[in-house]
Amino acid sequence: MNDDTTRLNKFLALQLGISRREADILIDSGVVTINNEPIILGARVKTGDTVAVAGKQIASNKIPHIYLQFNKPVGYVCSRRAQGDNPTIYDLIPPEYHALKPVGRLDRNSSGILLLTNDGDFAYQMTHPKFAKIKVYEVELDRDLEPLHQQMISDFGIQLEDGSSQLTLARLHDTLRKAWQVTMSEGRNRQIRRTFAALGYEVKKLHRVQFGNYSLGDMKPGELKNVTIH
């Protein structure tokens, strides 16, 4: 086998910022060609080949992987386009990083650590449920959490429309029952807010301080920094 060949799914993942699994789905759908010829799973790309997806040629220059850590402020959405009057995180991020995709989103009213990358495999490993990446949040409720409700959430789980939600709770202050540290390994849409809402509470503040091996530390709101994957 030639040393200058690369598996097609790896090539597509790097050039398009998707995971290899997503690349395999793309290849299997029949829209990918090499030198205008249809290909199958397991195909390889060599130097000088022309790769296209749905007729659009994919650049073959090597794109380095980038990994950024961002402290998302409240009031910004994680999409590329503003939603109504709500600005997007890309308004705060330098233009040279606008091609990066967020890894695990935070809703508009939530803040804290957000990872951005063009490495689809890394994004997949950080977000797919089978990898069970730990996420830690600081949560403030609109009123004191009753001990019974604490036990229900931590020990038994709360039934939501998309399944049971079980969170690990720890008090942030000895004398307050409104402020909690919430630890989870899932990542369903607005799961923490929906869990507390099912028991009649409103989450007034939700701030993510840890995502897998990455911690927010003393980063200021809106601050961005490069990180090394581990």
Site of tokens 């990898």: 131
Q: Residue 161 corresponds to which tokens in the numbers above?
A: 């429309």
Q: Residue 229 corresponds to which tokens in the numbers above?
A: 């994957």
Number of helices followed by number of strands (H, E) in the chain: 5, 17
Q: Residue 94 corresponds to which tokens in the numbers above?
A: 């330098």
CB 181 within 8 A of CB 153: no
Using CA atoms, how far apart are residues 78 and 139, in angstroms rounded to an integer?
20
From 3, 28, 85, 107, active-site residue: 107
**Of 116, 120, 118, the residue nearest 128 (C-alpha):** 120
Q: Tell me whether strands 51-53 and 214-215 are parallel, antiparallel or unpaired.
A: unpaired
Is 162 one of the catalytic residues?
Answer: no
Q: Residue 84 corresponds to which tokens in the numbers above?
A: 């109504």
Which residues carry out catalysis? 107
